[in-house]
């Protein structure tokens, strides 16, 4: 070291001030008279190796192979989000109905007699019918997802999506049996049922107690399309498992096991310094019409309102076969999502970047309990340096 340089160093009090080496800010320690050099405090030969490695890596880190993805923990804002499920289910069936009279166990029960006049006893009456479940279930969903946003690389990544489409509520739809029978009469109560007319009979509710969509696989990616106002448009199709738990007429519907499907998300993203908001539209529909090969049903109670005169109820037993089930369903949702930036391990000044500023903080705490103890083991050391460098951005 020349006298001139030493003099210039001493004349400008840089001791204790940060200086930059390869973009890394370092504190310069006091002049060591014995070693006749400026030395970094508390840096052993090993640590000095780590520091040199860090500086070397710092140069490497500036290459663009390091992703600029910012990760946000996001929640669905339930209050302003809606899901509408439109269900249209029809199951035609046919068979016979009969009064619930029994000369031993129910001697005051309803008896059925075919035709307009005459006859005796309790007789089966042929019918055709359809079980119908139709309407909308509207709910405020809850849920969460993790969003990776790379606004430089124009890429979005969705992971850990889990949505309760019912938001913890129960969705109910009224079920109806539309029944058409041959002309018959009843005794207890006394009524006349003209044939050839389809009568809608409410038969209770179908209830959906659980409907969830949980992402399968790790991440799905989509492209961000910049808009004039600074927001981005995107489309991402997320593979999910749907789980539906439902009952109709008190009986479970389906097996309640997860079924693979997809949630197509289309939306608008607005990214702030430490937050993100999404407006998502979800639209999905399907339909099926399949023959049914179930066993016939026997003696299912049906409370049939009287026709002539009105006001009474005939207690009938219905037997028959369901021949097919036609189901069409549509899901449409408008979701508001709000997210906050995940803390990045190594971002010691919490500015969303892991760079030379953070490295400087770590090095200035080297060998102490912090700041810079990223892994929380009580000491700032090589493990922390490694975490910081692996998150360099």
CB of 42 to Ca ion, least distance (A): 15
Contact between 349 and Ca ion (CB under 5 A)? yes
Give the nearer residue to Ca ion in terms of CB position, either 164 or 384.
384
CB of 343 to Ca ion, least distance (A): 11
The CA-CA-CA angle for residues 6, 12, 17, to 5°, reads: 105
CB of 384 to Ca ion, least distance (A): 4
Read off the DSSP letter of residue 109: S
SS3 category, 384:
helix
Contact between 358 and Ca ion (CB under 5 A)? yes
What contacts 24+ positions apart, CB below 8 Å, involve 378-381? none
Give the nearer residue to Ca ion in terms of CB position, either 49 or 192.
49
Cis peptide before 13 (omega within 30 of 0): no
SS3 category, 279:
strand
Give the nearer residue to Ca ion in terms of CB position, either 259 or 349.
349
Could you tell me what percentage of the chain is helix, strand and coil, using 3-state DSSP and rounding each to the nearest 5?
A: 10, 55, 35
Give the range of 54-62, 118-126, 227-235, 353-361 binding Ca ion by CB under 5 A: 353-361
CB of 59 to Ca ion, least distance (A): 18
Give the nearer residue to Ca ion in terms of CB position, either 23 or 135.
23
* Subset of residues 93 to 152 that bind Ca ion, contact rule: CB under 5 A: none
Give the range of 12-20, 232-240, 261-269, 354-362 binding Ca ion by CB under 5 A: 354-362
Q: How far is CA 290 from the centre of its chain?
A: 29
CB 164 within 8 A of CB 244: no
CB 20 within 8 A of CB 55: no
CB 89 within 8 A of CB 332: no
CB of 370 to Ca ion, least distance (A): 8
CB of 381 to Ca ion, least distance (A): 5
Size of residue set near Ca ion by CB under 5 A? 9
The CA-CA-CA angle for residues 35, 39, 40, to 5°, reads: 155
Give the range of 81-89, 177-185, 331-339, 345-353 binding Ca ion by CB under 5 A: 345-353
Contacting Ca ion (CB under 5 A), which of 87, 347, 363, 388?
347
Give the nearer residue to Ca ion in terms of CB position, either 152 or 377.
377
Secondary structure of 309-376 in HEC code, one letter for each residue: CCCCEEEEEEEEEECEEEEEEEEEEEEEEEEEECCCCCCCCCCCCCCHHHHHHHHHCCCCCCCCCCCC
Give the nearer residue to Ca ion in terms of CB position, either 335 or 380.
380
CB of 346 to Ca ion, least distance (A): 8
Q: Determine the length of the chain.
A: 393
CB of 350 to Ca ion, least distance (A): 7
Give the nearer residue to Ca ion in terms of CB position, either 151 or 237.
151
Give the nearer residue to Ca ion in terms of CB position, either 235 or 350.
350
Give the nearer residue to Ca ion in terms of CB position, either 118 or 376.
376
Q: How far apart are CA 174 and CA 177, in angstroms?
A: 10
Give the range of 77-85, 91-99, 331-339, 356-364 binding Ca ion by CB under 5 A: 356-364
Give the nearer residue to Ca ion in terms of CB position, either 165 or 362.
362
* Subset of residues 170 to 199 that bind Ca ion, contact rule: CB under 5 A: none
Contact between 68 and Ca ion (CB under 5 A)? no
Q: How far apart are CA 354 and CA 54, in angstroms?
A: 13
Pick the closest to residue 23 from 48, 72, 75, 59 (CA basis).
59
Q: What's the Cα-to-Cα distance from 121 to each of 109, 159, 246, 381, rounded to whole Å?
A: 12, 67, 40, 95
Contact between 369 and Ca ion (CB under 5 A)? no
* Subset of residues 373 to 392 that bind Ca ion, contact rule: CB under 5 A: 373, 375, 377, 384
CB of 55 to Ca ion, least distance (A): 17
CB of 174 to Ca ion, least distance (A): 58
- Residues lying near Ca ion in the complex (CB under 5 A) are found at 347, 349, 351, 353, 358, 373, 375, 377, 384
């Amino acid at each position: 070291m020349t006298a001139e340089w030493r003099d210039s160093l001493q004349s400008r009090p840089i001791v204790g001030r940060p200086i930059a080496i390869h973009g890394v800010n370092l504190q310069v320690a006091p002049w060591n008279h014995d070693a006749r050099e400026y030395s970094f405090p508390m840096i052993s030969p090993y640590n000095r190796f780590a520091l040199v490695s860090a500086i070397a890596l710092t140069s490497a880190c500036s290459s663009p192979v390091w992703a600029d993805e910012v990760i946000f923990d996001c929640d669905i804002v339930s209050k302003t989000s809606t899901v509408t499920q439109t269900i249209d289910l029809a199951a035609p069936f046919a068979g016979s109905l009969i009064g619930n009279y029994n000369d031993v166990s129910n001697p005051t029960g309803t008896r059925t007699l075919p035709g307009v006049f005459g006859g005796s006893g309790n007789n089966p009456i042929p019918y055709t019918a359809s079980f119908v479940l139709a309407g909308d279930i509207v709910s405020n969903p809850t849920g969460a997802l993790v969003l990776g946003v790379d606004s430089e690389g124009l890429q979005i990544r969705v992971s850990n999506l889990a949505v309760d489409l019912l938001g913890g509520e129960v969705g109910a739809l009224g079920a109806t049996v539309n029944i058409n029978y041959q002309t018959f009469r009843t005794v207890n109560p006394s009524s006349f049922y003209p044939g050839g007319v389809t009568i809608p009979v409410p038969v209770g509710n179908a209830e959906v107690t659980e409907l969830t969509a949980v992402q399968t696989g790790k991440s799905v990616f989509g492209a961000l399309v910049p808009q004039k106002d600074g927001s981005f448009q995107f489309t991402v199709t997320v593979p999910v498992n749907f789980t539906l738990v439902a009952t109709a007429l008190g009986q479970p519907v389906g097996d309640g096991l997860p079924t693979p499907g997809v949630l197509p998300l289309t939306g608008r993203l607005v990214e702030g310094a430490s937050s993100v908001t999404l407006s998502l539209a979800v639209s999905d529909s399907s339909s099926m019409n399949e023959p049914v090969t179930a066993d016939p049903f026997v003696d299912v109670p049906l409370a049939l309102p009287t026709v002539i005169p009105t006001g009474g109820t005939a207690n009938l037993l219905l037997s028959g076969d369901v021949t097919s089930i036609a189901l069409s369903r549509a899901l449409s949702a408008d979701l508001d999502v709000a997210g906050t930036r995940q803390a990045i391990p190594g971002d010691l000044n919490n500015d969303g970047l892991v760079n030379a500023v953070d490295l400087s903080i770590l090095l200035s705490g080297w060998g102490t309990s912090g700041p810079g103890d990223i892994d929380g083991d009580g000491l700032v050391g090589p493990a922390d340096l490694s975490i910081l460098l692996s998150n360099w951005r």
